[in-house]
Amino acid sequence: MKQATLFKVVLVGVLACVSALLVGAEDRYLYFTWEVTYGTVYPLGFAQQGILINGQFPGPTLDAITNDNILVNVINKLDEPFLITWNGIKQRRTSWEDGVLGTNCPIPPNTNWTYKFQVKDQIGTYNYFPSTKLQRVAGGFGAFNIAQRSVISIPYPAPAAEFTILVSDWYNTNHKLLSQRLDAGVPLPFPIALLINGQQSTSVFTAQQGKTYKFRVSNVGIATCINLRIQGHSLKVIEVEGSHTIQEVYESFDVHVGQSVAFLVTLNGSPKDYYIVASSRFSRKNLTAIATLRYEGSNSKASGPLPPPPSFQLHGSMKQARTIRLNLTANAARPNPQGSFHYGTIKITRTIILENSEARINGKRRYAVNGISHVNPETPLKLADWFGISGVFDLNIIKDVPPPSGTPAKQGASVIGLVLHDFIEIVFQNNENALQSWHMDGSSFYVVGAIMVALDNKGMWNLRSAIWGRQYLGQELYLMVDNGERSILTETNIPSNALLCGKAKAHN
């Protein structure tokens, strides 16, 4: 699958010189061809339709090293338009490759399109998934791991090996029927199962007694916060969403929707099998997925009660989230400490308060942010901005503060205009009785309350609910980070292969 023919390297090398300041010509190129199809999967032991990449469910793990250039030729064999988004990958200076409907025209059925981006100055555990429609409930997701370059030291001893755990929620209804339901204003049903790497109970991780392993865990589900634990073993957190953390040890760990965490696990038990458990948190039903940690040479199956979940309180989970702290003196992707940025002393130029709400518009359930329920225009926002196409979006629709309570929500293309290099504060205000999980493209973080963002990445960036039924019905917006000039020093040109749709078609 990974293939780097000399011809391609030379060709791309030439292109790279044109923008030599942007792409280090010495960095590796990784080429992937991914065919996306429907296929039969058996996560619960009976046949269901899934979305496969190169025949795999979950999709292939993308293993990269900091600064690799990644080219993924995605061949869409579904009967619906398709895009993949790279969750947590910063896409420096190039929101063109972000793979969401505000930046990209979707890849039509039976065509292909090649993503080209560099994982510049990134290290850590991420994932990818389909951003279009509700396809991700059926698959198309996978792990995206970025290892450190050999010159960078990491703040823990090299593990004996790495394992990937993707936890997802699973439905017994086809993704198209689920979208029709949402379109009709009916909430999604409760998932019927949780899966670990596409299986409810049969994934096995085999490892050696006495050694320490890295487990990279992503919650790629669409609705369910999960708790992860391993019978008889503790979890030492080493990295969350690309930042090295203070290495605290936990009995079990909550991984919120969209979140990625890496743990070290030392095999200090007797040589047998142990349960790995992912169970739902704060939900009406208790769903559980089980995998096996098998000591090499083990001949006894995991037994005894499953390790118990933590107590139900939301408070405990919030408290745990607050124990995640960056190790400010550890290396980041580059050999400078993660704490070299003095957040506390930088002047905040703008505070934006974003309030999520459930709304009824035209008699149907929608979700809104500051009273605007986002609808993607047929012309991607990024293309409209680049080509100067008017009438696609308007920066005055969404305001920096929520509207007075009682103001009816409305639909629109929700874009906040921001100035490159400003330092802003975003406060997430949740007056609903529902747990929220937010994701911001172009930079990545786990949100407990408010965030400070250094706007160092020009482009059109999606800020969305990671709870997909909410995102689908409008709980998202775009942050347009701009500086009023066109220069490849601050943003790459539109890729030569960019798909053009809507009003942008005229610019072919």
Ligand X SMILES: *[C@@H]1O[C@H](CO)[C@@H](O)[C@H](O)[C@H]1NC(C)=O
Q: Where are the beta strands (DSSP E) in 61-183?
A: 62-65, 69-76, 84-87, 111-118, 124-130, 142-147, 162-170
Binding of ligand X at residue 411 (CB under 6 A)?
no
Binding of ligand X at residue 73 (CB under 6 A)?
yes
Cα torsion 240, 246, 252, 254: sign: negative
Binding of ligand X at residue 497 (CB under 6 A)?
yes
Q: Which stretch binds ligand X (CB under 6 A): 42-50, 57-65, 325-333, 380-388?
A: 325-333
Q: Which stretch binds ligand X (CB under 6 A): 193-201, 326-334, 400-408, 413-421?
A: 326-334
Output the six-digit token pair for 367.
Answer: 């979700």
Please answer whether residues 460 and 381 qualify as being in contact, where contact means their C-beta atoms are separated by less than 8 angstroms. Answer: yes
Residues 255-294 within binding reach of ligand X (CB under 6 A): 285-286
Cβ closer to ligand X: 343 or 419?
A: 343
Residues 330-359 within binding reach of ligand X (CB under 6 A): 330
User: Binding-site residue total for ligand X (CB under 6 A)?
Assistant: 15
Residues 225-254 within binding reach of ligand X (CB under 6 A): 246-247
Beta strands 288-295 and 249-250 are unpaired
* Tokens 């990974």 belong to residue: 2
Please tell me the distance from the alpha carbon of residue 35 to that of residue 82, in angstroms, as a whole number: 12
Q: Which DSSP string corresponds to 189-226? A: PPPSEEEETTBSS--EEEE-TT-EEEEEEEE--SS--E
Instruction: Give Cα 266 to chain centroid, integer Å.
Output: 27
Cβ closer to ligand X: 286 or 340?
A: 286
Please tell me the distance from the alpha carbon of residue 327 to that of residue 236, in angstroms, as a whole number: 14
Among 37, 48, 49, 112, binds ligand X (CB under 6 A): 112
Binding of ligand X at residue 493 (CB under 6 A)?
no
Q: Which stretch binds ligand X (CB under 6 A): 16-24, 109-117, 399-407, 463-471?
A: 109-117
Output the six-digit token pair for 22.
Answer: 């942007």
State the nearest-atom distance from the C-beta of 281 to ligand X, in Å: 9
State the nearest-atom distance from the C-beta of 38 to ligand X, in Å: 20
State the nearest-atom distance from the C-beta of 206 to ligand X, in Å: 29
State the nearest-atom distance from the C-beta of 453 to ligand X, in Å: 24
Q: Strand order of the sheet with strand 69-76?
A: 48-53, 29-41, 69-76, 111-118
Please answer whether residues 382 and 460 qualify as being in contact, where contact means their C-beta atoms are separated by less than 8 angstroms. Answer: yes
Q: Which stretch binds ligand X (CB under 6 A): 205-213, 265-273, 324-332, 420-428?
A: 324-332
State the nearest-atom distance from the C-beta of 491 to ligand X, in Å: 21
Among 312, 336, 489, 507, binds ligand X (CB under 6 A): 312
State the nearest-atom distance from the C-beta of 286 to ligand X, in Å: 4
Q: Strand order of the sheet with strand 62-65?
A: 62-65, 142-147, 124-130, 84-87
List CB contacts of 132: < 8 A, sequence separation 6 or more. Answer: 80, 81, 82, 83, 101, 106
State the nearest-atom distance from the C-beta of 329 to ligand X, in Å: 5
Please tell me the distance from the alpha carbon of residue 490 to that of residue 482, in angstroms, as a whole number: 9
Binding of ligand X at residue 501 (CB under 6 A)?
no
Binding of ligand X at residue 155 (CB under 6 A)?
yes
Cβ closer to ligand X: 210 or 316?
A: 316
Binding of ligand X at residue 114 (CB under 6 A)?
yes
* Tokens 């610019």 belong to residue: 507
Binding of ligand X at residue 327 (CB under 6 A)?
yes
State the nearest-atom distance from the C-beta of 246 to ligand X, in Å: 4
* Tokens 């506390």 belong to residue: 344
State the nearest-atom distance from the C-beta of 243 to ligand X, in Å: 11
Please tell me the distance from the alpha carbon of residue 169 to that of residue 166, in angstroms, as a whole number: 10
Q: Which stretch binds ligand X (CB under 6 A): 57-65, 106-114, 298-306, 361-369?
A: 106-114
Q: Which stretch binds ligand X (CB under 6 A): 123-131, 173-181, 322-330, 372-380?
A: 322-330
Q: Which stretch binds ligand X (CB under 6 A): 107-115, 296-304, 315-323, 456-464?
A: 107-115
Among 172, 300, 329, 351, binds ligand X (CB under 6 A): 329
Containing 386, the helix (H) or strand (E) segment is helix 381-387
Residue 290, CB-side half-sphere exposure with 13 Å CA sphere: 15
Please tell me the distance from the alpha carbon of residue 49 to that of residue 204, in angstroms, as a whole number: 23
Among 57, 86, 96, 113, binds ligand X (CB under 6 A): 113
Cβ closer to ligand X: 189 or 408?
A: 189
List interacting residues with ligand X (CB under 6 A).
73, 112-114, 155, 246-247, 285-286, 309, 312, 327, 329-330, 497
